[in-house]
Amino acid sequence: MSRYISLPFRNRLEAGRFLARRLASYADRKDADVIVLGLARGGVPVGYAVARALNVPLDVLVVRKLGVAGHVELAMGAIASGMVRVLNRDVLAHVPNPAATLEDVTAREDREMGRRERQYRDSRIAQDLEHKIVILTDDGLATGATMRAAVMSLRQRKIARCVVAVPVGPPDTCAKMQNEADEVICGVTPEPFYGVGQFYKDFSQTTDKEVRNFLSRSAKGMGR
């Protein structure tokens, strides 16, 4: 799959360091402002490793998956800041009572999105993204709904360029993402692909505390 890494990844930090090699052209850029946005929560440790390797700032973007009950990685869609909602019609077609289910899950995840945004930032102000090159990181792609919502949210903020970067994803999802972002980097695209977690030895849930710690450590380490 790649001469640089053997799957599964040990953890999200190792996956981020692997991904950073594919993003080396964005390191220490003098001609443009570059920032890494990690999708909360699993994309933040990946983004931390990428931002550290590239010597660029790290921030967080909260996007919530609209999950199907009982299927942790299967998404009816996703929501993001700016009243963005992306739907996965193929999945919704198999959900009982889809309209009511979708509205209930959207309301719940919207409340959770607001809670996380307040908690992660503490007193830190969100980075100004206008005219910047934004590298969006996650620990992997599955349906791509969460990442599509993230890209749509960023388009509203007048960024210069959107780069989607993930360590692993299915070939078809990575190919479709090319229509959403300016550049897509999928580190490896293995088949068969059943879920992101199968490609990690440690895929334990990233905690809110870890997200805050990664953001704080990145801010303190900039320029070293």
**pLDDT tens across 1-44, in order?**
344 567 899 999 999 999 999 999 999 887 779 999 999 999 99
Question: Which residue range is the domain that position 30 belongs to?
Answer: 12-221
The answer to the question of residue 163 being in a domain is yes
- For residue 71, what is the domain's CATH number? 3.40.50.2020
d(CA 3, CA 41): 28
Q: For residue 191, is pLDDT > 50?
A: yes
Q: What pLDDT is attached to residue 73? A: 66
The answer to the question of residue 4 being in a domain is no
The answer to the question of residue 165 being in a domain is yes
Q: What pLDDT is attached to residue 167? A: 98
The answer to the question of residue 1 being in a domain is no
The answer to the question of residue 7 being in a domain is no
- Cα torsion 114, 120, 126, 129 to 10°: value is -90
User: Which residues is 37 bridged to in the sheet?
Assistant: 59, 136
| Identity of the amino acid at 3 | R
Q: What pLDDT is attached to residue 178? A: 96
The answer to the question of residue 127 being in a domain is yes
Confidence band (pLDDT; 50, 70, 90) for 72?
low
pTM of the entire predicted model: 0.86
d(CA 87, CA 102): 9
Task: Give mean pLDDT, residues 108-125.
Answer: 84
Domain count within the chain = 1
Q: What pLDDT is attached to residue 68? A: 85
